[in-house]
Amino acid sequence: MKLAIVGATGQTGSVIVDALLKSTTPKFEILALTRPSSLQKPEVVDLGKRGVAIVAADLGGTEDELAKLLKGTDIVISAIYGGSVAAELSLINASKAAGVKRYIPCFFATVAAPKGALMLRDMKEDVLNHIKNIFLPYTVIDVGWWYQVNLPRLPSGRIDYVAMETTDGIAGDGDVPFALTDLRDVGRYVARIIADPRTLNRMVFAYNEVFTHSQLYGLLEEISGEKLERRYVRAEAIAASIAEIEAAEPSPDSVEFVTLAKYQYWYSCGVRGDNTPEYARYLGYITTKELYPDMEWISLAAYFQDVIGGKGERVYKHLQDLLTVSNAKKA
Amino acid sequence: MKLAIVGATGQTGSVIVDALLKSTTPKFEILALTRPSSLQKPEVVDLGKRGVAIVAADLGGTEDELAKLLKGTDIVISAIYGGSVAAELSLINASKAAGVKRYIPCFFATVAAPKGALMLRDMKEDVLNHIKNIFLPYTVIDVGWWYQVNLPRLPSGRIDYVAMETTDGIAGDGDVPFALTDLRDVGRYVARIIADPRTLNRMVFAYNEVFTHSQLYGLLEEISGEKLERRYVRAEAIAASIAEIEAAEPSPDSVEFVTLAKYQYWYSCGVRGDNTPEYARYLGYITTKELYPDMEWISLAAYFQDVIGGKGERVYKHLQDLLTVSNAKKA
């Protein structure tokens, strides 16, 4: 199966490529569409060594050029930065022109209303509507909230090496359930979903387990033996922060944009309760629980044990650096 | 089953109410939400005599008042004018507050892309997104293109009594298939769909038959024994007309808006080929062919025979009058 991917070295793209390279049924022949300026980056060179064909491609170029690159490709995956999904439109048109059999737009996030809950989701809906407008076969894949961005710190500091700056509170009263997935499982889900005829022209929700924030804190206390501080952020306070940042119309590459996205995720998952299998089914998703009842996944408890055992890995390193610099400036 | 409807005396609403009144399994208890200024209209008084409860309701009023009226209602149907669907939002919010089990937004048209193909469909998509945002159970029902608005005139003039002003050409080359439905069947489809648990939170496409314009003209020639004139309107000419009217931003109650909608339907159904069962399935619709394989419908041939036999009925009488006045002014 011939597959092309944009964003192969990103946080989501890299776990997808890892899983695709491991897959044997089907076997994927992978093409990484790479910005000309990134061809010499170590992670790109490394991909090449691992059997991924690296091709220079510019999403800002002509659709004809992109279509030529995609000739004969079965599946195209976009795993670009969520703030730049509008840049996908040329790739989508080129995929249509090239006769691509299935296009996977950059979703890979929590379940939310198509419009009005998350700015990032709103932007993705516009992309999906364009796909539908040109009758391009597609599959939308959402994956819930990552364990990795929901890891509270421990008072002892022993998991600070992996905890994110952004995980510093509980949204609302902490009693709203949401679906969680280990980032390390995302690639395996994607590899299976994109080769499944049942998921063509459908939205699929891949997730591991459902927890409330209170339950998640309780579980980490149980496993770590430490007592966690619970800093609740009231729904009204989150809404006020969202309104304040929105009013300033931050650009997609700013710290403010990232902070806005964080608060919107909090509100959608922790207050509105959007990110659940029940709401997903209502919105038309099929879930991986129905599709692949045999499939194994990493439990939240196992993830906590890994992290406490020193086997955790920090995600969004560049984003962490950005936030650290920004906070240092404020201080 | 308790049901409330808005637009009960309109072109679509009235065939729906007729079918609901005839239905025995389930039996519907019908409430017609009616503008206070329309309570004394003959068609409203007539509805009351036929067993429909008439209640004064103002969609522009408070949601609390509307919610009180809807208390205990199972199903709400909106069959308001397509150009005013934004007025549904208060009814939707009230339905949520009242615990309505299924909301049927005003779709009842051809299959088209969610955005970018038909102005009316774009507006409906915004309404649907609001429904999804507040997690209100719903069913979208589209019904294809009516036989009644696709009836060409015969040179003899013998079916002019029912032909519409707007049916005066063939979009494109006439070889694009589209789905057609007899308006008289719409109510029966709706009565069945809204009581079907399989259609909850789904889009349903109800249609009778699939024809191209050329085939439709051919069939009418065969049945009437007359030779029809074929006036083809090229795709580029339709697109140019659309662009010209769009630029003037016509208000929803103007003749220009109706003309714009007509050209957009032509382009979507006759050039793009949106209004097909295949595209409907791609967009996530279930069709009545899968749902109700046993169900009978009026064929296009039978409709032509009815019309030639003097049993046709003119649709959109008010719209015809509007167009006649407008054309008279131009002449």
Active site residue A124: yes
- Chain A nearest-CA residue for B117: A133
> Active-site positions of B?
124
Residue B283, chain A, CB below 8 Å: the answer is: yes
Could you give the CA distance from residue A92 to residue B138 in angstroms, rounded to a whole number? 30
Indicate the pLDDT class of residue A319, thresholds 50, 70 and 90. low
Is B132–A117 a contact, with Cβ atoms under 8 angstroms apart?
no
Chain A (46-105) residues lying within 8 Å, Cβ to Cβ, of chain B: none
pLDDT of residue A55: 96
Q: Collect all residues of chain B within an 8 Å Cβ-Cβ radius of residue A137.
A: 282
Is B201–A115 a contact, with Cβ atoms under 8 angstroms apart?
no
Could you give the CA distance from residue B286 to residue B288 in angstroms, rounded to a whole number? 7
Q: Collect all residues of chain B within an 8 Å Cβ-Cβ radius of residue A281.
A: 201
CA of B155 vs chain A CAs: smallest distance (Å): 38
Residues above pLDDT 70, as percent of chain A: 95
- Beta-carbon contacts of B266 under 8 Å, excluding residues fewer than 6 positions away, are B169, B171, B233, B238
Give the helix/strand (H/E) hosting A75: strand A75-78
CA of A123 vs chain B CAs: smallest distance (Å): 14
Indicate the pLDDT class of residue A314, thresholds 50, 70 and 90. confident
Q: Collect all residues of chain A within an 8 Å Cβ-Cβ radius of residue B103.
A: none
Residue B114, chain A, CB below 8 Å: the answer is: yes
Indicate the pLDDT class of residue A151, thresholds 50, 70 and 90. very high
C-alpha to C-alpha distances, B30 to A140, A322, B20, B37, B252, nearest whole angstrom: 40, 60, 8, 20, 29
Q: Which of A137, A134, A112 is nearest to A125 (CA)?
A: A112
Indicate the pLDDT class of residue A24, thresholds 50, 70 and 90. very high
Indicate the pairing of strand A232-233 with strand A170-171.
Answer: parallel
Which 3 state secondary structure label does DSSP give A307?
helix
Indicate the pLDDT class of residue A267, thresholds 50, 70 and 90. very high
Q: Could you say which of A115, A124, A227, A330 is catalytic?
A: A124
pLDDT of residue B61: 86
Q: Collect all residues of chain B within an 8 Å Cβ-Cβ radius of residue A279.
A: 135
Indicate the pLDDT class of residue A330, thresholds 50, 70 and 90. low
CA–centroid distance for B269 within its chain: 14
Q: Collect all residues of chain A within an 8 Å Cβ-Cβ radius of residue B201.
A: 281-282, 284
Residue B251, chain A, CB below 8 Å: the answer is: no
**pLDDT of chain B, 331 residues: tens digit per residue:** 999 999 999 999 999 999 999 999 899 999 999 999 999 999 999 999 999 999 999 999 899 999 999 999 999 999 998 888 889 999 999 999 999 999 999 999 999 999 999 999 999 999 999 999 999 999 999 999 999 999 999 999 999 999 887 677 899 999 999 999 999 999 999 999 999 999 999 999 999 999 999 999 999 999 999 999 999 999 999 999 999 999 999 998 888 998 999 999 999 999 999 999 999 999 999 999 999 999 999 999 999 999 999 999 888 776 666 666 666 666 5
Residue A130, chain B, CB below 8 Å: the answer is: yes
Q: Is B325 exposed, middle or buried (0-12, 13-18, 19+ CB in 10 A)?
A: exposed
CA of B312 vs chain A CAs: smallest distance (Å): 36
pLDDT of residue A320: 61
Is B129–A113 a contact, with Cβ atoms under 8 angstroms apart?
yes
- Beta-carbon contacts of B233 under 8 Å, excluding residues fewer than 6 positions away, are B169, B170, B171, B172, B266
Query: What is this structure's pTM?
Result: 0.95
Strands ordered across the beta sheet of A2-6:
A53-56, A29-34, A2-6, A75-78, A102-104
Residue A197, chain B, CB below 8 Å: the answer is: no
Who wins on pLDDT, A244 or A252?
Answer: A244
Residue A114, chain B, CB below 8 Å: the answer is: yes
Candidate from A113, A133, A201 with C-beta closest to B132: A113
The DSSP symbol for B76 reads E
Global ipTM = 0.94
